[in-house]
Amino acid sequence: MAHSDGRLSTDIDPLERAPQDACGVFGVWAPGEEVSKLTYFGLYALQHRGQESAGIALSDGERIVVYKDMGLVSQVFDEATLDSLNGHLAIGHCRYSTTGSPVWENAQPTFYTARAGGLALGHNGNLINTPELMAMLPENRLNATTDSEVLTGLLAADPQRSLVDATLDVLPRVKGAFSLVFMDERTLYAARDPQGIRPLVLGQLESGWVVASETAALDIVGATVVREIEPGELLTIDDSGLRSRRFAQAAPKGCLFEYVYLARPDTTIAGSNVNASRVEVGRRLAHEHPAEADLVIPVPESGTPAAVGYAEGSGIPFAQGLVKNSYVGRTFIEPSQTLRQLGIRLKLNPLREVIAGKRLVVVDDSIVRGNTQRALVGMLREAGATEVHVRISSPPVRWPCYYGVDFATKSELIGGTSSREEIRASIGADSLGYISLDELISATEVPKNRLCRACFDGVYPIEVEEDSRGKYLLEKSCGTPTEQPLASSGR
């Protein structure tokens, strides 16, 4: 399947895009294993982190081949393609764009010719000094309009340096969030920014090593979780084994929103199980914002753990009152106006026999613009709910994220422009309650000073320059990416 014409996939929920992470990354060094298929299944486990494009770079020790395309992992790769990708070393990437348009040219892994061979790279996060980094390139010529492309170009810029030396020189100059997997023909590399904003973990196979955005991806491929890759750490893996170097001192500020929404519930971050944290948030939410109701129902799937906790904390029975169409995701088919008017029913449908005549507590993970919750409350009332009490398992999202989550601008965030009562009235709920920031942090069991909370409290751990903001920053200076062939290779 090839969409090198740059067609964009469309999220057919016309009301409100959920908060999106930048992407998921996966890397494996495992002689004797089918690493293309391990990478495929690793990316499949990370699909929730990015649904716009997917790609794999693979090496047999002599040549790197990159295969990538627009679409879901299962749409980009088939059995025949994976069988044709032979080697012992691979990296993979699934993308949601936070810098650069969602077009084929910006899909990852990126690839550059470097020294006597090639360099392929996958990036989860978002850089905040991209213009400064771009000025460091020997030539301001890019194949794509992403911060990841700029970073790859810098690492490959000097043919006289080893990739390790280039990395130890370049990464201390990079500001922002970056969890990286990259490779040359013989070595797998992984690195994490000094704040460790986005997650990155190390696992071990019987015959090699795996790195991934989340522990859930290690579980899927049968790898044993070893540890998190430390903030400011560079790992190299090759025939000589695993080695660790430090390019910066650690100043941990892990993303709090990973616990709210971004990470899979079966993932562990900083020693805390995400599902357990979300259930605990629900319990605390029940105590902070009780309601007189007959049922607690989740907005599936992300609201389910907190709804379970709310039911436990309140004593109100838990029920599945909404059915989610699991096959509604991203499509190349533009919905008609009639389908747009159906709105949220494309994704969720109420179980009338469960909710009719009932007072409901509806638990969701967050409110960004409020459009989805407004439609949802209206739909539940149409289905016969007598009261709808909305409970949110995160504080109001008041500030945009510059570190890899595609939140709206502050003016578009309903939590940044309206009071809680104004939001309640806007979405049509009988009552509205958010978990407090202190209770959310406490539920994660991670110290407050080790978490980035900027989208909730406006305290940014890394200062963002005004001219470094904007998803289409590089497109303004470079123009729109041009069409490229589907696969590339280097030696």
Residue count (the chain)? 491
Tell whether 478 is in a known binding site. no
Count CB atoms within 10 A of the CB of residue 41.
16
Q: Show the tokens assigned to 71.
A: 């679409």
8 Å CB contact between 170 and 189: no
Q: Is 32 left (phi over 0), alpha (psi -120 to 50) or beta?
A: left
**Active-site hit among 23, 216, 413, 474:** 23
Q: How do beta strands 272-273 and 268-269 pair?
A: antiparallel
CB 100 within 8 A of CB 142: no
CA-CA-CA-CA torsion sign (8, 13, 15, 19): negative
Cα-atom radius of gyration of the chain, to the nearest Å? 22
Euclidean distance between CA atoms 455 and 139, whole angstroms: 36
Angle at 11 between CA 7 and CA 12, to 5 degrees: 115
Query: Is 365 marked as binding a ligand?
Result: yes
CB atoms within 10 A of CB 383: 19
Residue 255 annotated as lining a ligand binding site: yes
Is 94 annotated in the active site? no
- What CA–CA distance (Å, rounded) separates 191 from 5? 32
Helix (H, G, I), strand (E, B) or coil at 238: strand
DSSP string, 317-344: PB---EEE-TT-SEESSPPPHHHHHHGG
Q: Is 455 annotated as a binding residue?
A: yes
Encoding tokens for residue 56? Answer: 């794999």
CA 12 to chain centre: 19
Nearest to 109 by CA among 21, 164, 171, 189: 189
In three-state secondary structure terms, 72 is: coil
Binding residues: 255, 302, 364-365, 401, 452, 455
Binding residues for Mg(2+): 302, 364-365
Binding residues for [4Fe-4S] cluster: 255, 401, 452, 455
**What positions carry a catalytic annotation?**
23
